[in-house]
């Protein structure tokens, strides 16, 4: 396992020596010919074709969808916690539900009906559980992997339906994209004179890979984001001050992407949450040939080498005082703001670096900023609040016990 930032970078940036090696069940669950398992030039070319899905224009489309979903879930939380006698509740699963609905509607728009979205959400937890590090690796009835394969079939069925409907609508004159699938289809139609380059099944597996990449990781980060804003009231106060300055007290209108650009402090909070509690601790790599990882050691072919994101992001030579939660380190003039970008490994590095990192920043900045501006919440600390449990990604061991109340807004 890599002990510091430099060794982690070396593993991630050495595709000729090592390639990602997910848990044994991953290819059964996500389908072996899913693009995420491609390597080399084929992977690079395929990835290049997906970059259009995360341009600034595309992100602006997604942001409109996100804001509507945030308001819906905020309202539900406030209603649930409205009684003064209502106790604090673990909110980890509520944050998961917010992220799942956001992902489904951003990626697939309204092409999936409510019952379909609920079916996907209810079943996806089975996929999460089956991707834990230790599991019986075969899809035999009664195992977690078998249940996950059935859950994947349910999701892909609905994703195929969404792909077909998007293709129908986007072929109509004057149709504008409302979601990621629409943006993808629009670009394909423009580039290929209306010829469908990808089958619905292939596109649905790409959507599945995006859900896989975003759902558990962002659920983890949003959970810790809400917990830390409650635990650090001075940080929450600065986020609110920035929201008021930029949005001028207008929290009924959708936040605009240009406004997000100005949320320097809120984005610094997001980066510190991601650094302090990186959702993915490590990703195993398999050496495809002898790998000279240092001057005095060569890793044999067929070995597992593990880049550790936790160690990298808590490396005191890169992030001074790494065990302190301090968003100021990412502000202009902060001790990490101008550090070499190669050190920032939350999203990986090299050919398999996360393609959707700007979407992650946008989602977390928008949801934490809007929540801070419109709600108050308290965190009921327990002996397990600072302990970590691993369920594919990391979460507070007590589930993050919060209680939300409306915030008196200035007019």
pLDDT tens-digit map of 282-294: 888 889 999 999 9
Mean pLDDT of the chain: 91
Cβ(368)–Cβ(68) below 8 Å = no
Report the pLDDT value the prediction gives residue 193, as an integer from 0 to 100: 61
Q: Does the pLDDT value for residue 3 go beyond 90?
A: no
Q: Is the pLDDT of residue 125 over 90?
A: no
pLDDT at 134: 59
Place of tokens 């004179």: 193
Confidence of residue 137 (pLDDT cuts 50, 70, 90): low
What pLDDT sits at residue 198? 86
Which whole-number Å values give the CA distances from 250 to 243, 254, 409, in the listed order? 10, 9, 10
Confidence of residue 21 (pLDDT cuts 50, 70, 90): confident
Is the pLDDT at 338 greater than 60? The verdict is no
Structure tokens given for 334? 């902060």
pLDDT beyond 90 at 106 = yes
pLDDT score of 4:
83
- pLDDT (mean) for 14-26: 83
Q: Determine the pLDDT at residue 138.
A: 72
Q: Which of 51-60, 195-204, 338-347 has the highest mean pLDDT?
A: 51-60
> pLDDT tens digits for 399-409?
999 999 999 86
Instruction: Produce one character per residue of 225-262: b if its CB has 16 or more CB atoms within 10 Å, e if not.
Output: bbbbbbbbeebbebbbebbeebbeeebeebbebebbee
Model confidence at 250: pLDDT above 70: yes
Contacting residues for 351 by C-beta, under 8 A, at least 6 apart: 15, 39, 43, 44, 47
| Long-range Cβ pairs for the range 71-78 (8 Å, 24+) | 71/370, 72/101, 73/97, 73/98, 73/101, 74/370, 74/371, 74/374, 74/375, 74/404, 77/375, 77/404, 78/375, 78/404, 78/405, 78/406
Exposed/middle/buried for 197, CB within 10 Å: 0-12, 13-18, 19+? middle
Task: Check whether 411 has a pLDDT greater than 60.
Answer: no
pLDDT score, position 114: 96
For residue 197, the model assigns a pLDDT of: 76
Average pLDDT over residues 225-240: 98
- d(Cα 31, Cα 202) in Å, to the nearest integer? 10
Q: Is the pTM of this model over 0.75?
A: yes
pLDDT cut 70: percent of the chain above it = 95
Domain extents for the chain?
5-406
pLDDT above 90 for 333: no
Per-residue model confidence (pLDDT) at position 270: 98
pLDDT value of position 352? 86
Least Cα distance to 112 among 214, 204, 25, 12 occurs for 204
The more confident residue out of 135 and 283 is 283
- Neighbouring C-beta atoms of residue 134, cutoff 10 Å: 6
% pLDDT > 90, the chain: 70
If you average pLDDT over residues 96-110, what whole number do you get?
Answer: 96
CATH fold of the domain at 5-406: Cytochrome p450 (1.10.630)
Q: Please determine, for residue 241, whether its predicted confidence score (pLDDT) is greater than 60.
A: yes
In tens, the pLDDT along 354-408 reads 999 999 999 999 999 999 999 999 999 999 999 999 887 999 999 999 999 999 8
Residue ranges of the alpha helices (H) in 81-140?
92-108, 114-130
156-178 confidence digits (pLDDT tens): 999 999 999 999 999 999 999 99
Strands (E), 129-259: none
d(CA 284, CA 23): 8
**CA–CA gap between residue 162 and residue 145 (Å, rounded):** 25
Residues 6+ away with beta carbon under 8 Å from 326: 272
Q: Give the torsion sign (CA, 154, 223, 321, 241).
A: positive
């Amino acid at each position: 396992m890599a002990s510091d930032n430099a060794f982690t970078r070396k593993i991630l940036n050495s595709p000729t020596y090592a390639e990602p090696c997910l848990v044994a069940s991953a290819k059964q669950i996500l389908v072996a010919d899913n693009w995420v398992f491609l390597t080399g030039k084929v992977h690079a070319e395929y990835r290049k074709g997906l970059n259009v899905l995360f341009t600034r224009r595309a992100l602006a489309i997604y942001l409109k969808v996100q804001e509507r979903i945030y308001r819906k879930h905020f309202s539900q939380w406030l209603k649930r916690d409205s009684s003064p006698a209502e106790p604090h509740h673990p909110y980890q699963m509520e944050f998961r539900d917010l992220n799942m609905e956001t992902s489904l509607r951003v990626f697939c728009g309204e092409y999936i009906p409510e019952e379909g979205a609920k079916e996907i959400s209810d079943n996806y937890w089975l996929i999460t559980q089956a991707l834990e590090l230790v599991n019986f690796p075969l899809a035999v009835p009664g195992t977690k992997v078998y249940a996950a394969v059935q859950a994947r079939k349910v999701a892909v069925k609905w994703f195929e339906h969404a792909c077909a409907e998007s293709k129908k609508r986007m072929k109509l004159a004057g149709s504008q994209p409302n979601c990621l699938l629409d943006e993808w289809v629009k670009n394909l139609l423009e580039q290929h004179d209306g010829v469908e380059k990808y089958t619905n099944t292939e596109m649905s597996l790409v959507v599945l890979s995006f859900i896989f990449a975003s759902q558990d990781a962002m659920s983890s980060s949003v959970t810790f984001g809400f917990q830390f804003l409650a635990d650090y009231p001075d940080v929450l106060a600065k986020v609110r001050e920035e929201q008021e300055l930029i949005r001028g007290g207008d929290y009924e209108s959708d936040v605009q992407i240009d406004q997000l650009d100005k949320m320097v402090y809120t984005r610094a909070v997001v980066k510190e949450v991601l650094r302090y509690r990186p959702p993915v601790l490590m990703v195993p790599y398999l050496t495809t040939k002898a790998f000279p990882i240092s001057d005095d050691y060569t890793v044999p072919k067929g070995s597992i080498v593990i880049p550790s994101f936790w160690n990298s992001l808590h490396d005191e030579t890169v992030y001074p005082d790494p065990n302190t939660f301090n968003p100021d380190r990412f502000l202009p003039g902060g001790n990490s703001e101008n550090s070499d970008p190669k050190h920032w490994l939350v999203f990986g590095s090299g050919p398999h670096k996360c393609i959707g990192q700007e979407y992650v920043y946008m989602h977390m900045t928008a949801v934490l900023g809007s929540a801070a501006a419109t709600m108050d919440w308290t965190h009921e600390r327990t002996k397990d609040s600072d302990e970590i449990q691993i369920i594919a990604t990391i979460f507070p061991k007590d589930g993050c016990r919060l209680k939300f109340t409306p915030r008196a807004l200035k007019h």
